[in-house]
Amino acid sequence: MSASGAAGLACPVPRAESEFFSAYEWCLDPRLTVEDLFVRLEEELARVRLLTEPWQREESLGNIYLFVCAIACTVDDDLARRPTYLAAVRERARRFAPAVHLVQFLVNAPGAVIGRVGAKRLERFSSRWARCVDAACREIAARCVEDAPALTTVEHTPARSFPSGRAGEGCGFPKDCAART
């Protein structure tokens, strides 16, 4: 089929859909920072209660769930960070094995010491944030937006419990995220 023939088959987008989705132009950036996720989550939490069309509320509630899960996944990825292993290098250059072992230790030592201190706070945040994931999931399951008490858990957790000491470390936490906690 020619391009002009395909263009003739395009359906016009209803105005309500066009207006609704115009607020999501930012979503074309697939690499949001944790700070961006919190900002978009807060926007969506404010927006969901103002929407009158059921399909828009469902779409917004789905977005809330996705933001909450994206934050949880980012935290889990950071907690699952593995140290650097240079065993393959040691095997190839057996003569330099002691030096390679020392390099491996030096590369991993700062993260092991500093990371464990921050990881405890991040683990506590992760436990509290799991309640937000559960709350968002319950809301989707119930399809209840107008009277959504579980969203209160989501609304009040981000600003108070994200561990500020983890800002800017490894997993893309923005440096000024600490100011938001």
* pLDDT of residue 3 exceeding 60: no
Of residues 44 and 136, the one with the higher pLDDT is 44
Residue 112 exposed, middle or buried by CB count within 10 Å (0-12, 13-18, 19+): exposed
User: What is the reported pTM?
Assistant: 0.59
Q: What per-residue confidence (pLDDT) applies to 150?
A: 55
Locate 62 and state its tokens.
């789905």
E-state strands within the chain: none
Q: What per-residue confidence (pLDDT) applies to 180?
A: 36
Confidence label for 25 from pLDDT (cuts 50, 70 and 90): confident
| Domain ranges across the chain | 30-82+125-180
